[in-house]
Amino acid sequence: MEQSAKGVREIASADQPFMCSFCLRPREETGVLVGAPAVGICRKCTEAAVVLFQNSVPEAGPMQRAPWDALDNEELLRQLPKVAKARDDVENHLRIWVGAARSRKISWASIGESLGMSRQSAWERFHQSVVAEDKSA
């Protein structure tokens, strides 16, 4: 790599995802993950991506099939818990960000507006986890 891209860094803190967002393997299995908030990529997937970049034609081709199209029913069902865990990781990450906003005394109305929901919806969705963090601090 000639230059580093802004925002590309090793994921090392506890508030970052614990699995590769592409192959869904846990960090214990992949080793170093590189990523941004709530997403990560392992070395193996990065290398596969580099090959795709190197072999790609400049113009966009037809859309590839969805990943589940290549799976039989058993394989698809085996992937569902991993996708659900990825969803949970993203939700947990969002809670950490909302907690950071609340620790800055940002209002529930502003948080809700930022997330495209009402003040009441934001409070109902996040207040228990934020309160739990306040008590553990």
Task: Select 23 or 117, whichever has its Cβ closest to Zn ion.
Answer: 23
Contact track, Zn ion, 38-67, x by CB under 5 A: ----x--x----------------------
CB-based contact 41:21 (threshold 8 Å): yes
Helix (H, G, I), strand (E, B) or coil at 106: coil
**CA distance linking residue 129 with residue 1, whole number of Å:** 41
**For Zn ion, the closer CB: 2 or 28:** 28
- CA distances for 4 relative to 8, 13, 22, 27, 62, angstroms: 7, 20, 21, 22, 30
Q: Does residue 20 interact with Zn ion by CB under 5 A?
A: yes
**Any binding-site annotation on 42?**
yes
- Report which residue's Cβ sits closest to Zn ion: 20
* Identity of the residue, 29 or 113, whose beta carbon is nearer to Zn ion in the bound complex: 29
Q: How many whole angstroms separate alpha carbon 103 and alpha carbon 12?
A: 23
Instruction: In angstroms, give the least distance from the CB of 39 to Zn ion.
Output: 11
| Residue 35 contacts residue 17 (beta carbons within 8 Å) | yes
Degrees, nearest 5: CA angle 42-44-49: 90
Q: Which CB sits closer to Zn ion, 32 or 100?
A: 32
Would you list which residues are annotated within the binding site for Zn(2+)? Answer: 20, 23, 42, 45
| Residues at the contact surface with Zn ion, assessed by CB under 5 A | 20, 22-23, 42, 45
